């Protein structure tokens, strides 16, 4: 049953004050200066969706080229750029930002806060993401896009082997984007540690929030390896250093080690928050909490840790010592245990619950089927002998598309349908959604299942064409047909979303009778999220009467906090109330800073070093002004200064 409109506990005067402090009257300036986590989250979702469309169109171009042997739709040079941008954009510009978009919108709502811990840093992170994405994509029309594959192995990426700007765009673009990802990760951790509503001790934190926080910790410890790798690559290419140059004491495998020290945790950085979406969607459509909450939390934490010990399974064909193969083989096998545990927890939830078969649940079921198939081929790679047979064949392409489409895209689509009413305030059309699901599910399997086969038949990945003799043509045509089905399905999702926004019927606050706190706010939520900051009494606060009562009549002024733009800080573990804090207001500085960084990276790319120096100066001055302490007398009560 939907919760009622504005809490009777809050007087109209308080509501007016809250609106005055939190609302941003529509204007051009407000559009550029907003720090509202909901607007920023929406922008992340839309921008990541846009990059997804670009990367998806690149894939369609490739599938068209591969539909028949020796086709000439694109040239080999163009094909190289297409598959590199497809992979790079899907991993870095779509998957993580899309999930960060969900996180941005949902984490403060789920933990009962009024914003993220660092709202301006949040806005800055978004602008950097947007600019870095445009920076990378804008190289494609110039024919200067990255062209060595998304993992950019040395020595192919060296200046001699790949002249031109291609890999400079890659290295600088990812370094630029890394700033956004790191800032976002720190923001999620601090928000989840300090801004939870009173009473939301760690054992009452929603699984989605756990997943986002575990992801953020992985980002903190994994991303530096990628950043360093790209810095070295850029130095090697532009300034003639020798990190990856064996003729002068360097080593090409250094690139691979650093890349996969980042890269394997990154698989979980992508999949983990998506699994969090699954855990958030299931309770509403099975009418019960996820089975084995403590075990699922432990599995999330265990995966986050073990994921740092499996990177060499991407390097089983590089001739490392046998002993290291054994270790990484074992670790790769062990990590399937916590992953399997989560799957069984969801299956048990569905088995014990009452299923409500709506579109979000369809996508969750599609996720389980597809992801388990991908995980199954994944455990096959943990066996070194098998891995060496199929390395760099289409079998690998099949495997990771099962994992990433199954493990990330399906949950995201479930999330889009599930939270669309909350995000836009409108309901989607169920019929169109079902059509979209079946087209996507069928299209996905028709595209990628045959890749297992022609991978085993010996077709290598990343070839721009093939001859008819090996007999791969039929299966390739099947894949191409499937990819068009998949594209039509995804188009229907877009049509559904646009239709809902334009014509959808208004959504009630809680259309699914969900269990987490975002469903106790308006659809879409007010700028201040909660008129009364709730007091949480259980793991399923919206299903729990005492929590609902805490926002009802009798809420004290210290949980309304209407004098100023304020929210509550609580203690890290037990969420005991600590104090109310003033939150920053909207500002143009984040945009300015991101713009200065864009100038810096562009001028580095084009070797305009004096301009880069000026950009650094602008960056330093902007940060200094941003953080300049306001002048206030040091007057606190009870203590003399």
Partner 1 sequence: MTDPAGIVTAATRAESLSAELPAGRSTGWWGMVMFVATEATLFACLLGSYYYLRFQYGPQWPPPGIEAPSLLKPLVMTAVLLPSSLPMLWAEHGIRRGQRWRLRSGLAATMLLGITFLALQATEYAEKLRQFTMTTDAYGSLFYLITGFHGLHVLIGLTMIGWLLAASLRGGSFGAHRHDRVRNAAIYWHFVDAVWAAILFTIYLTPRL
* Residues near partner 1, by CB under 8 A: 117-118, 121, 182, 185-187, 189-190, 193-195, 220-221, 223-225, 227-228, 231-232, 235, 239-243, 245, 248-251, 253-254, 257-258, 261, 556-558, 569, 571-572, 577-581, 620, 624, 627-629, 631-634, 636-641
Contact 540, 283 (CB under 8 A): yes
* Residue 437 to residue 360: CA distance in whole angstroms: 9
HSE at residue 392, side-chain half, CA atoms within 13 A, is 11
Nearer to partner 1, 217 or 472 (CB): 217
Nearer to partner 1, 354 or 632 (CB): 632
List Cα–Cα distances, 493 to 79, 193, 367, 440, 507, in angstroms.
Answer: 28, 35, 16, 9, 18
Nearer to partner 1, 462 or 577 (CB): 577
Rounded to a whole number of angstroms, the minimum distance from the CB of residue 532 to partner 1 is 14
The two tokens of residue 44 are: 């992340």
Rounded to a whole number of angstroms, the minimum distance from the CB of residue 242 to partner 1 is 4
Rounded to a whole number of angstroms, the minimum distance from the CB of residue 254 to partner 1 is 6
Q: Where are the beta strands (DSSP E) in 395-487?
A: none
Nearer to partner 1, 33 or 570 (CB): 570
Rounded to a whole number of angstroms, the minimum distance from the CB of residue 58 to partner 1 is 31
Q: Where are the beta strands (DSSP E) in 504-585?
A: 566-570, 577-582
Nearer to partner 1, 502 or 631 (CB): 631
Rounded to a whole number of angstroms, the minimum distance from the CB of residue 574 to partner 1 is 11
* Residue 586 to residue 590: CA distance in whole angstroms: 9
* Residue 454 to residue 434: CA distance in whole angstroms: 31
Nearer to partner 1, 261 or 423 (CB): 261
Nearer to partner 1, 125 or 496 (CB): 125
Task: Provide the residue count of the chain.
Answer: 641
Rounded to a whole number of angstroms, the minimum distance from the CB of residue 590 to partner 1 is 15
Nearer to partner 1, 385 or 639 (CB): 639
Nearer to partner 1, 544 or 572 (CB): 572
* Residue 138 to residue 145: CA distance in whole angstroms: 8
Nearer to partner 1, 8 or 246 (CB): 246
Residue 614's Cβ-count burial label (10 Å; 0-12, 13-18, 19+) is middle
Indicate the angle between helix axes 207-239 and 96-110, nearest 10 degrees.
Answer: 140
Alpha helices in 457-516 (DSSP H): 473-503
Measuring CA to CA, which residue among 107, 159, 26, 123 is closest to residue 516? 107
Handedness of CA 352, 356, 361, 362 (dihedral sign): positive
Nearer to partner 1, 253 or 488 (CB): 253
* Residue 382 to residue 392: CA distance in whole angstroms: 15
- Residue 404 sits at φ, ψ, to 5 deg, of -80, -40
Rounded to a whole number of angstroms, the minimum distance from the CB of residue 243 to partner 1 is 6
The two tokens of residue 184 are: 């976002």
Nearer to partner 1, 12 or 629 (CB): 629
Handedness of CA 151, 157, 162, 165 (dihedral sign): positive
Rounded to a whole number of angstroms, the minimum distance from the CB of residue 461 to partner 1 is 28
Give the CA radius of gyration of the chain: 25
Nearer to partner 1, 179 or 373 (CB): 179
Nearer to partner 1, 348 or 569 (CB): 569
CB atoms within 10 A of CB 291: 19
Residue 391's Cβ-count burial label (10 Å; 0-12, 13-18, 19+) is middle
Residues facing 460 on adjacent strands: 393
The two tokens of residue 565 are: 């733009």
Rounded to a whole number of angstroms, the minimum distance from the CB of residue 534 to partner 1 is 16
Residue 19's Cβ-count burial label (10 Å; 0-12, 13-18, 19+) is middle
CB atoms within 10 A of CB 338: 20
* Residue 347 to residue 327: CA distance in whole angstroms: 31
Rounded to a whole number of angstroms, the minimum distance from the CB of residue 276 to partner 1 is 20
Residues 517, 522, 525: CA angle, nearest 5 degrees: 85
Which region holds residue 240: left if phi is over 0, alpha if psi is between -120 and 50, else beta?
Answer: left
Nearer to partner 1, 182 or 479 (CB): 182
Rounded to a whole number of angstroms, the minimum distance from the CB of residue 318 to partner 1 is 13
CA 99, chain centre distance (Å): 3
Rounded to a whole number of angstroms, the minimum distance from the CB of residue 325 to partner 1 is 18
DSSP code, position 464: S
Rounded to a whole number of angstroms, the minimum distance from the CB of residue 479 to partner 1 is 38
Rounded to a whole number of angstroms, the minimum distance from the CB of residue 560 to partner 1 is 11
Rounded to a whole number of angstroms, the minimum distance from the CB of residue 213 to partner 1 is 11
DSSP code, position 2: P
């Amino acid at each position: 049953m939907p919760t009622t409109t504005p809490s009777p506990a809050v007087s109209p005067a308080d509501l007016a004050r809250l609106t005055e402090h939190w609302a941003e009257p529509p204007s051009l300036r407000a559009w550029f200066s907003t720090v509202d986590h909901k607007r920023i989250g929406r922008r992340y979702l839309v921008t990541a969706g846009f990059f997804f469309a670009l990367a998806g169109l690149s894939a369609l171009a490739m599938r068209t080229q591969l539909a028949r042997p020796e086709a000439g739709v694109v040239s080999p040079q163009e094909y190289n750029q297409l598959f590199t941008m497809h992979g790079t954009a899907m991993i870095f510009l779509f998957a993580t930002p899309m999930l960060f978009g969900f996180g941005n919108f949902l984490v403060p709502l789920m933990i009962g806060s009024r914003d993220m811990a660092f709202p301006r840093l949040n806005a800055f992170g978004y602008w950097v993401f947007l600019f870095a994405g445009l920076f990378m994509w804008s190289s494609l029309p110039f024919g200067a896009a990255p062209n060595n594959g998304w993992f950019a192995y040395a020595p192919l990426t060296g200046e001699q082997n790949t002249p031109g700007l291609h890999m400079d765009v890659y290295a600088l673009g990812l370094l630029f984007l890394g700033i956004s990802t790191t800032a976002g990760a720190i923001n999620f951790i601090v928000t989840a540690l300090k801004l939870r509503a009173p009473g939301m001790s760690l054992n009452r934190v929603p699984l989605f929030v756990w997943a986002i926080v575990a992801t953020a910790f992985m980002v903190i410890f994994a991303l530096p390896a990628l950043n360093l790798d790209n810095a070295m690559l850029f130095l090697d290419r532009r300034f003639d250093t020798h990190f990856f140059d064996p003729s002068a004491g360097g080593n090409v495998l250094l690139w691979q080690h650093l890349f996969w020290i980042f890269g394997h945790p990154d698989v979980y950085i992508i999949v983990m928050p998506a699994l969090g979406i699954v855990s958030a969607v299931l309770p509403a459509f099975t009418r019960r909490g996820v089975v084995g909450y403590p075990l699922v939390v432990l599995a999330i934490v265990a995966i986050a840790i073990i994921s740092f010990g499996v990177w060499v399974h991407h390097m089983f064909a590089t001739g490392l010592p046998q002993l290291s193969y054994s270790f990484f083989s074992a670790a790769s096998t062990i990590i399937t245990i916590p992953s399997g545990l989560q799957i069984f927890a969801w299956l048990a939830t569905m088995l014990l619950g009452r299923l409500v078969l709506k579109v979000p649940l369809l996508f969750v079921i599609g996720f389980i089927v597809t992801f388990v198939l991908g995980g199954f081929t994944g455990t096959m790679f943990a066996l070194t002998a098998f891995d060496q047979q199929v390395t760099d064949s289409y079998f690998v392409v099949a495997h990771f598309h099962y994992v990433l489409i199954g493990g990330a895209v399906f949950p995201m689509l479930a999330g889009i349908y599930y939270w669309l009413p909350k995000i836009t305030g409108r309901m989607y059309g169920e019929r169109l959604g079902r059509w979209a699901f079946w087209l996507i599910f069928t299209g996905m399997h028709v595209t990628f299942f045959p890749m297992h086969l022609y991978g085993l038949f010996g077709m290598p990945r990343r070839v721009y064409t093939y001859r008819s003799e090996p007999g791969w043509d039929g299966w390739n045509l099947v894949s191409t047909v499937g990819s068009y089905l998949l594209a039509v399905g995804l188009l229907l999702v877009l049509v559904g979303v646009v239709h809902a926004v334009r014509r959808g019927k208004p959504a009630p606050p809680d259309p699914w009778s969900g269990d987490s706190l975002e469903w106790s706010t308006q659809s879409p939520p007010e700028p201040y999220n909660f008129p009364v900051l709730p007091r949480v009494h259980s793991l399923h606060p919206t299903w729990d009467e005492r929590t609902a009562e805490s926002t009802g009549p009798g809420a004290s002024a210290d949980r309304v906090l209407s004098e100023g733009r304020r929210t509550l800080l609580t203690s890290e573990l037990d969420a005991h109330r600590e104090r109310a804090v003033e939150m920053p207001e909207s500002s143009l500085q984040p945009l300015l800073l991101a713009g200065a960084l864009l100038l810096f990276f562009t001028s580095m790319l084009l070797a305009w070093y004096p301009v880069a120096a000026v950009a650094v100066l602008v960056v330093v001055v902007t940060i200094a002004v941003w953080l300049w302490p306001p002048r206030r007398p040091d007057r606190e009560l009870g203590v003399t200064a």
